[in-house]
Amino acid sequence: MTVVAPPRHPGEHGNRGRREVRTVLGSRRSIAPGEGQASMRVLLVEDNAELVALLVKGLARSGFSADTVGNAADAAYSLAAMRYAAIVLDLGLPDQDGLSLLRSIRGRGDSTPVLVLTARDGVSDRVNGLRAGADDYLVKPFAMDELVARLQALLRRPGNLLGRELTFGNVSLETVGRRVFVDGTVRVFPARETAILEILLRRGGNVVPKRLFEDQLFGLSGDVGSNAVEVYVHRLRKMLQDCGATVKIHTVRGVGYLLAEEKAAA
Ligand code: CA
């Protein structure tokens, strides 16, 4: 049984290997994966590290930023903390069958589009996947372009996250377009401040642990400076204040942060 995805020789670093990777990934768009882009955030649930590395790179080239987790438990944790434009879900996970995870996602009423990846090619697996709530299905091995095309198709469907807004007080955020509105006016916030705002808006009125910001801001495996979150929260707090937001970020010492609506002074 072949569970291997492209490229055939992922370990190669010579010119030949590199050219091969480029061929596999294709070159659809020139959007840089850098900050400040209106990138769509997807959760990639896949335990094959080589495949993950390829997918992250390929997705970034097409304007997606991917958070990656290697098992169902971590996926559940990420999904509880964050709303994603789409989920790319491998069915063969080390701790739980991907289908069970998918059923629990749908069981919670979460309708985030899910693209299932699997080495299984049988008709019954495909049917089970779709029955469990998958929106689409890709059998390994597949071409990166194909994955991107399927994801884009899912995101064009009505009822998905495109255009969805999170609102608290007079502050709104388009979850996919990444535009922030204060009192109906578009405000330009940098990517990380926007990411912090999104987390706070999703939990409006509830305390968000600091650790959660670290995970979401800098990737689940990244190194975070000890006061980085404070710095970004401080900036965001000032930005909100400067544009007349009716919400304010409160620090809950030793725990995290809380977004609360301020009562008008007069
Ligand atoms: Ca797997």
Domain ranges of the chain: 2-156, 165-261
Fold of 165-261: Arc Repressor Mutant, subunit A (1.10.10)
Ligand 1 center to 74 CA (angstroms): 14
Extract the residue ranges of the chain whose pLDDT is less than 70: 1-39, 120-123, 125-126, 157-164, 175-177, 215-216, 218-226, 264-266
Q: How confident is the model at residue 263, as a pLDDT?
A: 72
For the record, the structure tokens of 231 come out as 């710095």
Ligand 1 center to 102 CA (angstroms): 15
Ligand 1 center to 97 CA (angstroms): 9
Q: How confident is the model at residue 18, as a pLDDT?
A: 34
Q: How confident is the model at residue 174, as a pLDDT?
A: 77
Taking the C-alpha atoms of residue 174 and residue 37, their distance in angstroms, rounded to an integer, is 14
Ligand 1 center to 91 CA (angstroms): 6
Q: Are 148 and 28 in contact (CB under 8 A)?
A: yes
DSSP three-state, residue 235: helix
Helices and strands: H and E segment counts in the chain = 9, 12
Burial of 22 (0-12, 13-18, 19+ CB in 10 A): exposed
Q: How confident is the model at residue 167, as a pLDDT?
A: 86
Q: Are 143 and 6 in contact (CB under 8 A)?
A: yes
User: Could you tell me which CATH class the domain 2-156 is placed in?
Assistant: alpha beta
Q: Are 217 and 236 in contact (CB under 8 A)?
A: no
Ligand 1 center to 46 CA (angstroms): 6
Strands (DSSP E) found in the chain: 40-45, 64-69, 86-90, 114-118, 136-139, 165-168, 171-174, 180-182, 185-187, 207-209, 247-252, 256-261
Strand 40-45 relative to strand 64-69, pairing: parallel
Give the up-direction half-sphere exposure of residue 26: CA atoms within 13 A in the CB hemisphere. 13
Ligand 1 center to 72 CA (angstroms): 11
Q: How confident is the model at residue 120, as a pLDDT?
A: 66
Q: How confident is the model at residue 123, as a pLDDT?
A: 65
